[in-house]
Structure 1
Amino acid sequence: MKTKALSLLFIILSMLHIDATASSKVSIRGIVIEKENGNALSYATICLADADNKTICGTTSSDDGAFVLSTDAAGNFILKVSFIGFLDTIIPITLENSITSIDVGKIPLISSQSNLTSAVVTAKVPVIEQKLDKIVMNVSESVATQGSNALEVLRKAPGVSVDPSGNILLNGNSVQVWIDGRPSNLSGEELQILLSGTDGSSIDKIEIIAHPSAKYDASGSGGIINIKTKKNFAKGLNGSLKGSYNISPNDKPLNQTNGALSLSYRNDKSNTSINYSADYKESYEKITSSTIFGENRALKGNTGSNWINSNNLIRINRDQFLDKKNIAGFVINAMKSNTKSNLGTNTWNKLYINGDLANTTTTRNDGKDSYGYINANLNYTHIIRDGDEFTINADWGNYDIDKDADQKNTSISPDGGILDRHRFRTNSEQGINIYSLRVDHQQKILGKLMGEAGFKWARSITDNNLLMENLIDGFWQKDNGQSSLFSYNEDITALYATLAGQAGTKWNFKGGLRAEHTSSKGEWISTGTSTSANYIDLFPTLFAGYNPSADLRLGLSYSTRIKRPNFRQMNPFRMYIDASSSIEGNPELTPEKTNTFSLSAGYKNHFNLALTGQFTKNVIIQSPFIDTQSGERIIKWDNFGKQSFTGASISTSEYPLSSWLTFNGNLFIAQVSNKSNEYKNESLFSNGYFNLTFMLPKDYKAELTGFYQSGIPYGKFDIDPTGQIDAGIKKNFAQNKAQISLMFYDIFKTLSTTAKYSEPDGTEYIFENKFSNQRIALSFTFRFGQGKAYRSRKVGNLEEASRVGTQN
């Protein structure tokens, strides 16, 4: 059945395909390269002009140096190719009605500094680019990436934030995080571990795809964030070595070290790369809470946690160029993370009745967490003809998550007497296997349209085992009520088709439809209960762009997305934080669905404006449940009514304040509404980012960056404002092969999370979470290899696996 459906899509595309001679338009294509070493030049400007030097049309080259221009003009013209740091190249071109396509081949640009022994070419790339279906944040040479990790870099992207559960949000909605065009395979705590262990200086750009096309999985109500790492296209053996040391000036200095090694070897037949990184991090977290409940009862708490975390990540990638039309490759990703934590003597809960202290419960919790995964991908691409290709991806992922905790609670009377002692331990084991197969095909239609069609199948198999034991009279006894055995299996089958093209020289569009069939079953074996689901969803997408002039561009987009609960959110076991706080999953969760509309406008290269409406139902969120007698707090995953964002964002990219100072910024302001049958909360929300880049003498570069997030309703919680200011300076030397940088993160120690929940009956719960984010980082990077000159830019598939989460 799957094969027939896929064949049908390909037949439809083939029937629609008409030879390009039916179009009167002429396409001009080519590739821009450096003459000195043959490397591709991205962001080169290509303009077609007439005899009066009037521009007919223009574009910029892509990452691989390629470009395509389309025009219906006829006559004699010139093709001008320019790039900062290179001499302009002009090519005479004659266009006739009988010609439909011209390939000018490779266009070599000569460096304007070619007389130097070791030229360093500087290309200015906008920090923020607004494209038809995404926002691109270029961070390749940002000082702020030095000594930082991927999570810290991601926090500064336009509209990005992290919620109290550790989920990455875009304009308040959850997203899927991808790396180099493939899903990261993680969510929640494990995604944070991966991003925290990924070297920030290895990132080239961050693509914020708020409205992914039908080609992408529909999962992620806020869209997709794709982190693209740096690539080395020079032939031969090349690489880099990086190390950094961080110190966090808390009551007790906390240390952090990390190192990264990147190697690549490229020749005419293959390209192989190996990336390895390791880090060690000491951190501290403090949570203070206050709960008012029942009749004149209050519970005040303090939780202090010390953490030691170590990560090892490796990525191996190989592409084999079988011939000019066939490429085969594989990608292997593996990670091992170990964490030790303890809640020391500074963890307690105090119960007050009518303002008088009734008892104090102290907690000590020693934990060990182990997380490991391995992902393997096999891929094959066949290029049928120019613009037509066929791709197959097969993926397998295996995840092992183990959590051990030993908790001791002691209840003490106001006069210091021992009222009760309770000790228990938990062991949680989670094993996940994910298999997927994806087939994609793209083909030209009617000579000027581009069609895509594809199929995907994915199977997820999850097993969870939680064992809880109480220490009674010196013997460990199983707690059958709190222990659980839970399994969850899911199959998703999808078909999609898209169509993109241009109408004249000013209009462009892309539309698509994706259909997904989901079949799932969860079994709570320890209680003999089960849940199942079987449904089909349709996800339309639409993008339209209009360029009335060379300086002004307009865009319109619409998309429908879904967020399925991750496997841990559905697992109904309880994870204890302290004597009075715990987090619990919910096997009855249903997917949330989001409809998003956006109207955007851009002016020249510096300003972009977007109006957005985002409407979500069945929001998956954590809701508090408070026992009115004991004050015990259970934070449970639940479906919460509806949520809406209606607002506007404005961004400024590379705006020159002076010859040595540029400004980049983004501001998002929206009216946020959370509604359920018994609850309603509305407020004005804002999220902002800024970057000031100082170009100093002797190749020094300094940056001041920061972000701010206003208060925002989060289900039944109200979250207070937060933000962060960073500053840094870097220096390149040794013919631009070496770099040293110094960064100061969270200068004013303002990054924290404070949330409040209240009910009409007077019940109230407030907590504040502070952690050791303030630190100073010293980093050194050295690049080596057989490539000639190093060019720097100075700038101011397992989608289901992204639901592998361990953060409740």
Structure 2
Amino acid sequence: MKTIILLTFLLGSTLLIKSQSTISGKVIDANGEAVAFANAVLYLAADSQMMKAEITDMDGIFKMSGLSQGDYHLKISFVGYTTYESETFSLSDNSTKSFDNIQLITDENVLDAVEITTERALIEVQPDKTIFNVEGSVNATGNTALELLRKAPGVMVDNNDNIILLGKSGTQIYIDGKPSPLGGEDLAMLLRSMQSSEIEAIEIITNPSSKYEAEGDAGIINIRLKKDKRFGGNANINLGYNQGFYAKYNGTVNMNYRNKFVNLFGMYSVNTGTWRNYMDFDKYMDELNTFTNSINKHSGPYNSYKFGSDFFLNKFNTLGFIVDGSFNNTKNYSTSVVNIFDASTNDPVSNLDASSESNGNQVNLHTNVNYRFDNLDGNTWNIDGDYGNYDNTNNAYQPNTYYDPMADTIIEENIYTSQAPTLINLYTANVDHERKLGPGKLGAGIKFSYVTTDNTYDYYEVINDEEILDVNRSNNFVYEENINAAYLNYAFAVKKFNISLGLRAEQTNSIGTLTSLVETADDTVTRQYLDFFPSGGVSYSINQKNALRLNYSRRIQRPNYQDLNPFEFKMNELSYRKGNPFLQPQYTQSIQLTHTYNYSLSSTLRYSYTTDFFSSVSDTAADGAGYIQTLNIGTQQVFGLNVSYPFSITKWWSTYTNAGVFSLHNEGVISDDRPIDLKQTTFNLYHQSTFNVTDKFSLELSGWFNSPSVWGAVFQTEANWSIDAGAQYKVFKERGNIKVAYTDLFNTAPWQAKQDIEGLYMDVEGGWESQQVRISFSYLFGNDQVKSSRNRKTGI
């Protein structure tokens, strides 16, 4: 009740505040569709001096604040359209002017005379996010989504494929505006199945508003898939070949048909071949020391698809449908050799050959129904209904053979097999509404989500060629989670200030039920809790070239189902992973101050404080085996400075540089009350240069550097870096495109790390096929007239 009263007071108070010296508007085409990325430029009427420039957002909206009194005129331009120029208008102190529907008219002379192409900057820095335009990058060719994230500004991927954003773990992955319900290895598998040829852009959002789900305390990474933006019928094919340690092949087909009444689109891609990674780790424990060399190979094919339609019922109403998913048939082969020594005498005890094979099938399906109303005057309704089904199976064969290190004879042989199916069903529904209210804009919405995860793990010991079920290691774990959410946003302007306030409430109900063949304690863990997540921001226009923005948010990171399952998943006889049913969610409060200069140079100071911080930790069991478990450790503080600057040195040489320094402090305890107090300052750098040699030929050079850093809670890494080079040539009247890239030129991307806790010291190094030659060819069939399409976001 107190919260409702507070919100009412805040919204009521804003109605008394009068917006001052602000203009805004929406740009549309002849069909009432929003025109994104149009240039809006304000000039003084007296001498045509440019006073301010903005770019329309995905909804065609622009806004200019902090303007002085005077007479002005406005110009709107976009390639393929005639330029709109307003009549002269006056602004007095404390005044506003709204251009509700600026309609651009197609320039037929331009369309007939030339083939229109527009190129966005490879990196766009916007007030609320950074956009990595994958489609325009040569060095992105042939990458999977997981590999692309390693190249994205401010992003790192650790040895367990966890995604770290601006020095902090707990990143939520979105795909086309919807949060992925997958976590851990399941999420990594999904990202490996997505190719760069499917992806239009990667959006990095470090301080999301209350409109976004509160999950993801480090921020949100939204992977935006391609959707054609042209009238008529067309198709785009992309074929690629990658050569690393092994060969890989990929292909993508995108199809689209659009007229005034309907937009039909489809995509299919396949990625096949063999991928290799390795990890060598030395463990020093109380009883034993082990030295392990492991190589893992996995092969496809990985398939993904997306089909959908938008029906334009009239200029205000749109109805859309989407079906997308993936189906993968994977094979994994791992060779692992472990040399075992007595810790006290350093004498060899035995050698373990723990090679294994596994076969997996992943079938993922997602459907969406969307209705959108837009009266073209700031009043919108968006309704989504979603269903997702994720059906994964994995069957493994795991022999463990111990050899006498002196005589090279077999001491003991143990063979195990396992079957591990996982079935996830997800249901969501959400309603979002925006409208003008008083001097500002009100946003509100509700969302319901329900997910069930059914995990079965059947573990067998093979004796005399007969599989005997191990009742101590086999189990079924069912996790159900329901989240009910509602939010309010309000944004308004006061003189040179733009203010946004938001509050999101999320009620979480979850139950985890373990069914095993032996009695265990805590078979069922139930949780119910209600959380409030405030957010807000204040921006201030110092002058025409300088602006400041201050943001605050509170967010949550919930443990995933894999981390909650209490049973053990063996990797070999000396290592396994187990869950923690008592794992609590972690909460993060963050504040950031951003300065932008000339709409390009962006500098951000950021501080975050996390309570109940959880992370995976490697430890040692009583029998000397090593295991990995996720634990609530304590607190984490991250203080950082990030600077990004897109800059064109000449007409033919454009650059983007992102540099960040982060100071991290993890403090708490792990099992048996062993304290952790780890501090680390990390520097990372990303740079990309594009050289447009001719209209058809361009070169690209990009690279990244990470200084010593921390993965998770206690894993300390050494510095690593990488440089990529690529070339692009346009053929067949620029309908075709040939790209060639050589990644990790000096093979410096592999990593090294250590962990030092009481009872276990580890030295680890590892890597993937970072050094590859990649070749791709793409070709566009059909109509290539530029045409904006609506930006669909689904409910999941």
Map 1:47-126 → 2, pairs under 5 A: 47-55=42-50, 57-63=52-58, 65-68=60-63, 77-82=72-77, 90-95=85-90, 101-103=98-100, 105-108=102-105, 114=110, 117-123=113-119, 125-126=120-121
Moved more, 172-181 or 128-137: 128-137
Encode CA deviations 1:6-25: one digit per residue, 9 max, x unaligned: 9x9999999999899x9786
Q: Does 1:644 align with 2:640?
A: no
In the alignment, what sits opposite 2:412?
A: 420
Distance 1:454 1:790 in 2: 30
In the alignment, what sits opposite 2:723?
A: 725
Distance 2:794 2:424 in 1: 13
For 1:571, which of 565, 573, 591 is the aligned residue?
A: 565
* TM-score computed with the length of structure 1 as normaliser: 0.89
Distance 1:673 1:620 in 2: 13
For 2:596, which of 589, 594, 602 is the aligned residue?
A: 602
Moved more, 305-314 or 24-33: 24-33
Distance 1:185 1:368 in 2: 23
Encode CA deviations 1:764-804: one digit per residue, 9 max, x unaligned: 1222222223211110000122234799xxxxx888x7xxx
- Partner SS state of residue 51, structure 1: coil
Distance 1:499 1:576 in 2: 51
Distance 2:23 2:587 in 1: 41
Q: Does 1:556 align with 2:550?
A: yes
In the alignment, what sits opposite 2:460?
A: 469
Distance 1:668 1:76 in 2: 42
In the alignment, what sits opposite 2:684?
A: 687
Distance 2:747 2:602 in 1: 31
Encode CA deviations 1:386-421: one digit per residue, 9 max, x unaligned: 211222211111111211111111111121222111
Distance 2:494 2:123 in 1: 27
In the alignment, what sits opposite 2:157?
A: 162
The question of whether the paired residues in 1 share the 8 Å contact of 2:20 and 2:493 is answered with no
AA matched with 2:174:
W
Bigger relative contact order, structure 1 or 2, given CA contacts below 8 A and separation 6+?
1
Q: Does 1:430 align with 2:411?
A: no
Equivalences, count:
776
For residue 57 of structure 1, report the CA deviation from its aligned partner.
Answer: 4.5
In the alignment, what sits opposite 2:250?
A: 258
Distance 1:266 1:256 in 2: 34
1:441 to 1:115, Cα distance in 2 relative to 1, 3 A: closer
Distance 2:285 2:101 in 1: 76
For 1:233, which of 215, 229, 234 is the aligned residue?
A: 229
Q: Which runs of 5+ in 2 are unaligned?
A: 670-674
Moved more, 739-748 or 347-356: 347-356
For 1:781, which of 773, 778, 785 is the aligned residue?
A: 778
- Partner SS state of residue 525, structure 1: strand
Encode CA deviations 1:725-778: one digit per residue, 9 max, x unaligned: 1110000122211000101112222222433122356x3122222222321111
The question of whether the paired residues in 1 share the 8 Å contact of 2:19 and 2:492 is answered with no
The question of whether the paired residues in 1 share the 8 Å contact of 2:39 and 2:53 is answered with no
Distance 2:362 2:564 in 1: 19
Encode CA deviations 1:278-304: one digit per residue, 9 max, x unaligned: 110201222211111225x42111112
In the alignment, what sits opposite 1:794?
A: none
1:522 to 1:300, Cα distance in 2 relative to 1, 3 A: same
The question of whether the paired residues in 2 share the 8 Å contact of 1:516 and 1:538 is answered with yes
The question of whether the paired residues in 1 share the 8 Å contact of 2:80 and 2:111 is answered with no
- Partner SS state of residue 749, structure 1: coil
Moved more, 382-391 or 311-320: 382-391
1:13 to 1:647, Cα distance in 2 relative to 1, 3 A: closer
1:267 to 1:619, Cα distance in 2 relative to 1, 3 A: same
Moved more, 298-307 or 74-83: 74-83
- Partner SS state of residue 42, structure 1: coil
In the alignment, what sits opposite 1:535?
A: 529
Map 1:102-501 → 2, pairs under 5 A: 102-103=99-100, 105-108=102-105, 114=110, 117-123=113-119, 125-171=120-166, 172-248=168-244, 250=245, 254-294=246-286, 297-344=288-335, 347-352=337-342, 354-383=345-374, 386-413=377-404, 414-446=406-438, 448-501=439-492
Map 1:701-716 → 2, pairs under 5 A: 701-713=698-710, 714-716=712-714
AA matched with 1:221:
D
AA matched with 1:730:
Q
Distance 2:24 2:399 in 1: 73
The question of whether the paired residues in 1 share the 8 Å contact of 2:184 and 2:562 is answered with no
- Partner SS state of residue 354, structure 2: strand
Encode CA deviations 1:634-682: one digit per residue, 9 max, x unaligned: 11121121111102011111x2334432221111101111111311111
1:619 to 1:261, Cα distance in 2 relative to 1, 3 A: same
For residue 471 of structure 1, report the CA deviation from its aligned partner.
Answer: 1.6
AA matched with 2:374:
I
Moved more, 193-202 or 594-603: 193-202
Encode CA deviations 1:259-280: one digit per residue, 9 max, x unaligned: 0000111111121211111110
For residue 178 of structure 1, report the CA deviation from its aligned partner.
Answer: 1.3
The question of whether the paired residues in 1 share the 8 Å contact of 2:391 and 2:422 is answered with yes
- Partner SS state of residue 563, structure 2: helix
The question of whether the paired residues in 2 share the 8 Å contact of 1:167 and 1:187 is answered with no
Q: Does 1:634 align with 2:630?
A: no
The question of whether the paired residues in 2 share the 8 Å contact of 1:48 and 1:58 is answered with no
- Partner SS state of residue 487, structure 1: strand
- Partner SS state of residue 549, structure 1: coil
Distance 2:603 2:11 in 1: 39
Encode CA deviations 1:227-275: one digit per residue, 9 max, x unaligned: 2233322211122001101111x3xxx1111100001111111212111
The question of whether the paired residues in 2 share the 8 Å contact of 1:47 and 1:56 is answered with yes
Distance 1:140 1:753 in 2: 28
1:280 to 1:601, Cα distance in 2 relative to 1, 3 A: same
The question of whether the paired residues in 1 share the 8 Å contact of 2:82 and 2:104 is answered with no
1:662 to 1:384, Cα distance in 2 relative to 1, 3 A: closer
The question of whether the paired residues in 2 share the 8 Å contact of 1:644 and 1:674 is answered with yes
In the alignment, what sits opposite 2:672?
A: none
Distance 2:536 2:19 in 1: 24
1:785 to 1:66, Cα distance in 2 relative to 1, 3 A: farther
1:394 to 1:291, Cα distance in 2 relative to 1, 3 A: same
The question of whether the paired residues in 1 share the 8 Å contact of 2:26 and 2:34 is answered with no
1:772 to 1:352, Cα distance in 2 relative to 1, 3 A: farther
The question of whether the paired residues in 1 share the 8 Å contact of 2:142 and 2:240 is answered with yes
In the alignment, what sits opposite 1:700?
A: 697
1:57 to 1:522, Cα distance in 2 relative to 1, 3 A: same
Encode CA deviations 1:464-516: one digit per residue, 9 max, x unaligned: 11111112244221111111121111111112111112112x21121101111
Distance 2:575 2:189 in 1: 23
1:551 to 1:109, Cα distance in 2 relative to 1, 3 A: farther
The question of whether the paired residues in 1 share the 8 Å contact of 2:416 and 2:461 is answered with yes
Distance 1:765 1:591 in 2: 28
Moved more, 58-67 or 238-247: 58-67
1:741 to 1:26, Cα distance in 2 relative to 1, 3 A: closer
In the alignment, what sits opposite 1:624?
A: 618
Distance 2:21 2:286 in 1: 76
For residue 27 of structure 1, report the CA deviation from its aligned partner.
Answer: 4.7
Encode CA deviations 1:163-194: one digit per residue, 9 max, x unaligned: 22212221222211112222234333233333
For residue 102 of structure 1, report the CA deviation from its aligned partner.
Answer: 4.2
The question of whether the paired residues in 2 share the 8 Å contact of 1:24 and 1:100 is answered with no
Moved more, 533-542 or 172-181: 172-181
AA matched with 1:696:
V
Identical aligned residues as a percent: 28
